[in-house]
Amino acid sequence: MSSKLTAGDLQVITRTAIFRGLKAETVEHIIAPANAVMLRPHEWLFRQGEPATAFFIVIDGLVKLFRISPSGDETVIHVLQKGEGFAEAVAFTGNRYPATAEAVSGSRVARIPADHIIRCIRENPDIALAMVASTSQHLHHLVQQVEQLKAQSGVQRVAEFLASLSHARHGRCEISLPYDKMLIAARLGLTPESLSRAFAKLREIGVTIHASQVTIDDIARLRRIAANDRSTVRGTLRPIR
């Protein structure tokens, strides 16, 4: 189901990375034909291999991007949150969507038609530069993911994920898991069992998890573990892969 964008929707959209550096009137022109798509949990927005007819910005909720292998296995690429855009590069080139987008929870997503974007780019090349910058950010994110999967243990991946949920640099803090543990495991390239073992190991250094609530006694130490500073681990945390 789709509807018109509200004033609140527009505020979220205009703060998206892809529109940074563009004039307000340019952004207004780009999003003029956009509408808001309402998604139920587990409802897909588009499927892998479909023609790319639009790009999207999450207004509210969570959207999972994943690929299905020929054997039927699912690989989670990213979980997008409020204010994050996706599929702009493929919409710009007119190719097919390389992944499936599915709502994790009830979500509201802005849909901006690809043909309108192409017309806007022809009128104003600065829009193309903004898209290149946004695509570069996505590429950087994917490179970090590959590095994480190849170089970090399961404990380090989980430590980095938990640390990323807090702005605190020192001392004790409390955070909430943004989605369920099955999706966290998939997002980090772990099995649910490996995730549970990593949580158990982190409990030894004061990371306590009750349902979706997490208490971290020393966020600085958790960040050092994520960064692989073995002097802070003191041999207590063995790698889990």
For the chain, how many structural domains are there in total?
2
Whether this model's pTM surpasses 0.85:
no
> Do 129 and 192 belong to one domain?
no
> Do 24 and 95 belong to one domain?
yes
Whether 241 is covered by a domain: the verdict is no
Bridge partners, residue 173, by sequence: 216
Whether 42 is covered by a domain: the verdict is yes
- The percentage of residues in the chain with a pLDDT greater than 70, rounded to a whole number, is 87
List all residues 6 or more positions away from 149 whose beta carbon is below 8 Å from its beta carbon: 157, 189
CA-based nearest residue to 20, from 123, 126, 116: 126
Whether 239 is covered by a domain: the verdict is no
Q: Which of 149, 168, 193 is the last residue of a domain?
A: 149
Whether 111 is covered by a domain: the verdict is yes
> Do 157 and 98 belong to one domain?
no
> Do 117 and 166 belong to one domain?
no
The CATH number covering residue 225 comes to 1.10.10.10
Whether 15 is covered by a domain: the verdict is yes
> Do 137 and 158 belong to one domain?
no
Q: How far apart, in whole angstroms, are the C-alpha atoms of residue 109 and residue 76?
A: 19
Whether 238 is covered by a domain: the verdict is no
Whether 185 is covered by a domain: the verdict is yes
Express each pLDDT in 178-214 by its tens digit.
999 999 999 998 999 999 999 999 999 999 999 999 9
> Do 131 and 167 belong to one domain?
no
> Do 207 and 141 belong to one domain?
no
Q: What is the DSSP string of 201-231?
A: HHHTTTEEEETTEEEES-HHHHHHHHTT-HH
Express each pLDDT in 122-144 by its tens digit.
888 877 777 776 666 666 666 66
> Do 32 and 139 belong to one domain?
yes
Q: Which of 117, 149, 181 is the last residue of a domain?
A: 149
Q: What is the mean pLDDT of the chain?
A: 86
The CATH number covering residue 33 comes to 2.60.120.10
pLDDT band at 26 (very low <50, low <70, confident <90, very high): confident
The dihedrals phi and psi of 205, each to the nearest 5 degrees, come to -110, 20
Q: Which residue has the higher pLDDT, 62 or 142?
A: 62
CA-based nearest residue to 57, from 18, 97, 109: 109
List all residues 6 or more positions away from 32 whose beta carbon is below 8 Å from its beta carbon: 116
Chain centre distance of CA 171: 27
Lowest mean pLDDT of 14-23, 50-59, 138-147, name the range: 138-147
Q: How far apart, in whole angstroms, are the C-alpha atoms of residue 81 and residue 38?
A: 15
> Do 85 and 117 belong to one domain?
yes
Q: Which of 90, 125, 149 is the last residue of a domain?
A: 149
Domain coverage including residue 186: 152-233
Query: Is residue 221 scored above 90 in pLDDT?
Result: yes
For residue 231, what pLDDT is reported? 42
C-alpha distance from residue 132 to each of 85, 120, 188 (Å): 13, 15, 27
> Do 203 and 185 belong to one domain?
yes
Whether 114 is covered by a domain: the verdict is yes
> Do 91 and 157 belong to one domain?
no
Q: How far apart, in whole angstroms, are the C-alpha atoms of residue 132 and residue 153?
A: 32
CA-based nearest residue to 155, from 216, 187, 211, 197: 197
> Do 6 and 111 belong to one domain?
yes
